[in-house]
């Protein structure tokens, strides 16, 4: 699948078929997480693959925001919990990068996912015996989608992009100044090319 098509196709899936996910597909998803970027290549992430119905039920019972629960934690045959050791100040970011790789990989494999951030981190760590010092930024459901959710609206690209500084709203890559700055960079790269050593 072309990358933009994949990025657009990924949806938060909240209804799943009961069919189990083959272990080799789960492994591919985890492999995608393994190749995420991380600060100083610290790779602080740890992934907990939960398929046991009792553990999934316990997660479902615990995860909520002001009493609002996530039934997809019950219906999806797999939950993958994303944890991170605190190796750098960026460990939480690293774990989220790994998670996004996994969500996109799952989409590419025809699987559905939904990222869940609505739960009490300390209580969830205790439930899953994750060391208290670790981070647990989130988890995601994984399984075959029972429905194909419609894409929720997105803000327009022109609304969220700026050129050169925040003040100039919108993307304008055709401006002569931009072209000139690229030419200047290219020219500098040419000048900085390593020269052969000069003879004494
Ligand atoms: C940080 C974060 C936390 C989220 N937490 C939850 C959650 O607790 N429960 C849930 O059902 N969806 C959760 N979502 C999914 C969002 O609701 C969803 O991504 C958003 O509505 C856009 O829909 P889409 O993923 O289909 O594009 C979360 C997403 C993010 C990025």
Task: Let me know if residue 198 belongs to a domain.
Answer: no
Helix (H) or strand (E) holding 108: helix 91-108
SS3 content of the chain, % helix, strand, coil (to 5): 40, 20, 40
Do 8 and 78 sit in the same domain of this protein? yes
pLDDT of residue 187: 81
pTM of the model: 0.88
pLDDT of residue 172: 83
Atom of ligand 1 nearest to the CA of 11: 26
Residue with CA closest to ligand 1 atom 10: 116
pLDDT of residue 189: 72
What CATH number is associated with residue 41? 3.40.109.10
For the chain, 200 residues long, the average pLDDT of each consecutive 10-residue run is 95 98 98 98 98 98 96 98 98 98 98 98 98 98 97 96 92 73 77 65
User: Using an 8 Å Cβ cutoff, are 70 and 138 in contact?
Assistant: no
Do 167 and 91 sit in the same domain of this protein? no
- 115 touches ligand 1 (CB under 6 Å): yes
- 90 touches ligand 1 (CB under 6 Å): no
Query: How far does the centroid of ligand 1 lie from the alpha carbon of residue 97, in Å?
Result: 15
Do 52 and 89 sit in the same domain of this protein? yes
Q: Using H for helix, E for strand and C for coil, what is the string for 18-37?
A: CCCCCHHHHHHHHHHHHCCC
Residue to probe by mutation, ligand 1, list 11, 12, 66, 142, most atoms within 8 Å of CB? 12
Supply the range of the domain harboring residue 81.
3-143
Query: How far does the centroid of ligand 1 lie from the alpha carbon of residue 177, in Å?
Result: 39
pLDDT of residue 162: 95
Three-state DSSP state, 119: coil
- 11 touches ligand 1 (CB under 6 Å): yes
């Amino acid at each position: 699948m072309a990358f933009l098509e994949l990025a657009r196709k990924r949806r938060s899936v909240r209804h799943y078929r009961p069919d189990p996910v083959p272990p080799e597909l789960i492994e591919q998803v985890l492999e995608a997480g393994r190749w995420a970027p991380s600060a100083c290549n610290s790779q602080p992430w740890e992934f907990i693959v939960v398929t046991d119905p009792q553990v999934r039920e316990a997660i479902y019972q615990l995860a909520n925001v002001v009493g609002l629960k996530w039934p997809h934690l019950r219906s999806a045959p797999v939950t993958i919990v994303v944890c991170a050791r605190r190796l750098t100040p960026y460990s939480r970011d690293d774990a989220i990068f790994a998670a996004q790789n996994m969500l996109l990989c799952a989409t590419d494999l025809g699987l559905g996912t939904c990222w869940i951030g609505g739960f009490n981190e300390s209580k969830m760590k205790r439930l899953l015996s994750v060391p208290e010092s670790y981070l647990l930024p989130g988890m995601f459901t994984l399984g075959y989608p029972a429905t194909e959710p419609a894409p929720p609206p997105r803000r327009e690209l022109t609304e969220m992009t700026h050129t050169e500084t925040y003040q100039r709203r919108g993307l304008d890559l055709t401006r002569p100044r931009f072209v000139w700055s690229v030419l200047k960079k290219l020219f500098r790269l040419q000048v900085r090319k390593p020269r052969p050593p000069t003879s004494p």
